[in-house]
Structure 1
């Protein structure tokens, strides 16, 4: 049964109005639901208590609740209130929802799943790129790879070249849907310190070697090898830096 809505629900302390508070209200509501502070089936407090708690008008609250409904987190039923939906209904690719999932992912289970999905998508795109890449695209990949070779002792430059290499593989594939989803996953992951984890001492050299293998397969137009090399690289790279004290669990 849904729990009773009540003032002082665990969203945020009462705050003063701000021009960006509508965004903050959405973020706080999403965080409360994703973190489990508010469970599926629970009712959100009415507009009045939420308005007092956030220090905004009822109109701002109403619009904010509509935004989280669009993300699949709640159902608004006239006369019955706003209830939290099960996790299976959430739009996990939504920027705010995915960011919050990663933020509250103490077990790293979400990042484990993200890495698997990203590896599947990017490996397919690597195969497509191997089959249809142009000389210009291959040259661009080679330039990113050369920057990685020259920056083994410059973390910022190495990481930038690494990301550029992956972006070029994706854009060269021509698979716009896979590219869009993979970019969403990658961008949200990069925002998390948990995703960066801890690099082993030889991580950059190993990472470079893995990119060399991907590049060689694409250059030789060997689609299967390019797919296998990309999939192995993404999964192995995550396991190398994954925090060892954490245990994975599902969503």
Structure 2
């Protein structure tokens, strides 16, 4: 087995030329820069990525941004993290037929397209969840709802708890492919991660998030009641409303 290259080996290679910050966000920029390093050979399979602190200094961003960037690289199969050791570049894998990259969310139209995909998939997931859920599924959904409500009061965008609720619905289907797809998409399925719909909503941030919370509660209540058709309808209404709220939030 060849020796693992160290940061010193990587540092000896010329860095990626600096580029101006793009408007689509810091995380996609860092993901793109590191992926380019891998694609152009500055980072080879088996190389250890620089530490979080080094990446923070290189890109002049927070630790949170660095960690989300690494998470996205992991989700794309480009790196793997070995606990207590570090994060390493993985060998290129055969490209799958289906993929959604961060750059596929550059416009409102892109986000709307994903919502249309979610409407068909998650409506059926909610129906299956109503038929198959168990007590632990309900408990996890209720915890996500409580976290969402708490986030509203804390002036948060409530993205993590929003995603967690949808993730728990997927898990309650008992079909791992629903959960795998949600894991693959991650929090970027929540429009607020790409377009700040909450702050630009005509009714204001608080009323906007309270309405989202009410829609989540309707989904939960239908799943709790084992009403498959009501759960399907509630999820469809929620995601269709998200699509329309997103459209209305944009000028013109």
TM-score by length of 1: 0.56
What residue number does 1:226 align with?
A: 231
- Matches of 2:189 and 2:38 in 1, distance apart? 21
Alignment of 1:1-251 (within 5 A): 17-18=14-15, 24=33, 26-27=35-36, 70-71=94-95, 91-93=97-99, 98-102=101-105, 105-106=106-107, 108-156=108-156, 158-189=158-189, 193-199=193-199, 200=201, 201=204, 202-242=207-247, 243-245=249-251
Tell me how far 1:149 sits from its aligned partner.
3.5
User: Is there any run of 5+ residues in structure 1 with no aligned partner, and where?
Assistant: 1-15, 31-50, 58-65, 73-90, 247-251
Superimposed CA distance per residue, residues 152-196 of structure 1 (whole angstroms, 9 cap, x where no aligned partner): 322438433322221111111112212222332343445985344
Structure 2: tracts of 5 or more residues without a match: 1-12, 17-31, 44-90
| CA shift for structure 1 position 236 | 1.1
Q: Is the 8 A contact 1:123 1:228 kept in 2?
A: yes
RMSD of aligned residue pairs (Cα, Å)? 3.9
Q: 1:160 to 1:189 in 2, by over 3 A?
A: closer
- Cα displacement (A) at 1:29: 11
SS at 1:17 equivalent = coil
Instruction: Mark the CA change 1:234 to 1:27 in structure 2 (over 3 Å): closer, same or farther.
Output: farther
Larger radius of gyration: 1
CA distance in 2, matches of 1:28, 1:112: 31
Report the Cα distance in structure 2 between the residues aligned to 1:117 and 1:230, rounded to whole angstroms: 13
